[in-house]
Structure 1
């Protein structure tokens, strides 16, 4: 323990003569004070694309080679991912045996929302420091979709035409891009009831039809409803933004209106 310690030694001979001697030892505990800083790589951050975080420890009065360091981290709010260090995954709250000095870490984000990581580093002399790092993520686009069968151009001897549409923007919802990006592409997968397979169609978002809030893509048009291969069928829709990120998939069934 730290402080002044007195030790008394007693020596006794075979003739039973004893001698004593004492020594005072002043013990001072070694403490390695240090600064702790963080830095993250400058590239744009996307969900499920790892990026670098550098942890820097610097002992203010010199580093003792016998002193070891370890780090833990938590999130402000929900868990946002995990750290990869020397090929091993460390999750929130797990102890990372940190090298002294400048240490590169890889962070694998599992969200497209912004988040904050709180780090704590402690060395073997019981000195600790904390620091936080805020991460700005590039949010994935959001898809809104509905599918409709519509009767158009009705009247006269020829009756109606029948069309299948996929809407990506309508009165109650709209697809959207974030972080200054724009929507660029639409992918539609829809079941073909005649060929009994899924068809995939790609559209440029700017080629959508419609006016005002309505944005739609025509999948087919027939003079007879019975010829519609996508009538009442299931579909899957997703959108891609100009950052190259795809949205989640929205599923549905073509509705007759």
Structure 2
């Protein structure tokens, strides 16, 4: 009887446990906060990760719950549609913030773990073919970053609907890249990513970050994207 009771209790808990598993959470970092110094300070990384990225995690999870709750009411109350549209804006913003930062952390690495080392293999050949050199691609990306008015991102992407060409894409706020644009490198241009260290000299941050870009990760994404 006791075993059956435990089994029934476990089944009753499964939906709750599943709901907890499906919520997004902060990704595990492959390095300590201070590991990217002197290029990005440990204080910036700690605040960026534990405060800013956590805010997008919390906001996205809350928006998903609100969306599900409102969707269940839609059949009986068409006026709920207006609220759903508002929640969708939160889904886009916080969801983009969550996804973009997950990409961002993964494409950074301390110099002791290969950060800043030039890419090899298929990605290196594609860069050489399209841009002539890695430095030229970096210069183009920095120009895109400098062109962000306010807050946003620059992505180096593989366009799988355009002959697998590399492109540098600029987005605003927490907009992300989707569809045929497969992100290889994501660079955060929001002030929270650099201001404590570089203050109003954001161009110096854009130059410095290439010393800790994880091109090995970018090469893996390039070869996996289809």
TM over 0.5: no
Counting helix residues as a fraction of each chain, which structure ranks higher?
2
Larger of the two Rg values belongs to structure: 1
Return the structure number with greater relative CO, CA threshold 8 A, min gap 6.
Answer: 2
Q: Please state which band the TM-score falls in when normalised by the shorter chain.
A: under 0.3
Counting strand residues as a fraction of each chain, which structure ranks higher?
1
Please give the TM-score of this superposition, normalised by the length of structure 2: 0.19
